[in-house]
Amino acid sequence: MVTLDTIRPFETPEGVELELRIAGPVPRSAAWLIDLLIRLVVLFVAYLAFIPFAQFGEGIWFLGFFLIEWLYPVLFEVYKGQTPGKRALGLLVIHDNGTPISWPSSLLRNLLRFADIFPGCYGVGLVALLCNSDFKRLGDLAAGTLVIYKDDDVTRLPIPEHEPKTPPISFDYPTQRAILDYAERHERLSGDRSIELAGLLEEMTGKVGQENVEEVLGYANWLVADR
């Protein structure tokens, strides 16, 4: 099945296919802006803090400026996988083979930012990013890195217990999956929405309203139940 989305599958040596969700230019720019703000604030505070130390303080300030200008994203990416801005947007930087980013790769992708920003507002980077399917700017291309969405912790949603009901027909896989998905999310749906969604199967169940919902939950129980 061909899907039009930003999921990038990659195969591990164990032969299973894992999926990464690639992040596009908009959340990445937002993350960058947040980081820029943080950096400016830190530099300003450092400036105030080091003024009293005259020449020595100025030297330290220059060092800090260098670190924040060039190495701020590198340090955060290597130790945390994400800068504070990316963290706020739920983004993560990793190698395109799914492994955590290393020092040289992070340094490479962040040094090449200088070329990506050219001639202003990430002009080059944006063009590069829109020319490949993985949203890679030049720095990502050279370093072999991806910016992906960090998945929230997956919580299992229990399927509400009901008397298992044998469905009248054998479901195809997408339908089976949809029914299980519905059952798992049932607790989170409002009552009306729950009835509305189950209503799609009214013709098959021959029931309406709450009874119909219970019928569908019965199918879901039958699908997973070990009997």
Partner 1 sequence: MKQERFEKQNREIWLEFDEQLTSTSAKALSVEDVKKRARVPWLYRRVCSDYAMAKYRHYSPTLVAQLHDLALRGHQSLYTKRVHWLSWIHNFCAVDFPQTLRRHIGFFWLACALLVGPALALGIMCHERSDLIYSVIDHRNVASYEYMYDPENPKIGREEERAGSTSTKMFGYYISNNIGIGFRIFASGILFGIGTVFFLFYNGIFMGAVAGHLTRLQYGETFWSFVSGHSAFELTAIVISGMAGLMLAHAVFSPGNYRRSHALQRVGREAITLVIGAGLMLTLAAFVEAYWSPTSLVSNQVKYVVGGCLWLLVVSYFSLAGRAAAASRISSEANHGN
Binding site for partner 1 (CB under 8 A): 12, 14-16, 18-19, 55-56, 58-63, 65-66, 69-70, 94, 97-100, 102, 104-105, 107-108, 111-115, 118, 124, 132, 136, 138, 141-144, 151, 153-157, 159, 173, 176-177, 180-181, 183-184, 223-227
DSSP character for 15?
A: S
CB of 56 or CB of 191, closer to partner 1: 56
Cβ–Cβ < 8 Å for 179, 171? yes
Q: How far apart are CA 196 and CA 148, in angstroms?
A: 34
Least distance to partner 1, CB of residue 224, Å: 4
Output the six-digit token pair for 50.
């080091």
CB of 61 or CB of 72, closer to partner 1: 61
Least distance to partner 1, CB of residue 208, Å: 26
CB of 97 or CB of 210, closer to partner 1: 97
Least distance to partner 1, CB of residue 2, Å: 18
Output the six-digit token pair for 84.
């504070």
Q: How far apart are CA 182 and CA 148, in angstroms?
A: 27
Least distance to partner 1, CB of residue 5, Å: 15
51 CB burial (10 A radius; 0-12, 13-18, 19+): exposed
DSSP character for 133?
A: T
CB of 147 or CB of 183, closer to partner 1: 183
Least distance to partner 1, CB of residue 52, Å: 14
Q: How far apart are CA 220 and CA 194, in angstroms?
A: 14
Token pair 């029931």 is at which residue? Answer: 207
Instruction: List CB contacts of 68: < 8 A, sequence separation 6 or more.
Output: 39, 42, 43
CB of 151 or CB of 163, closer to partner 1: 151
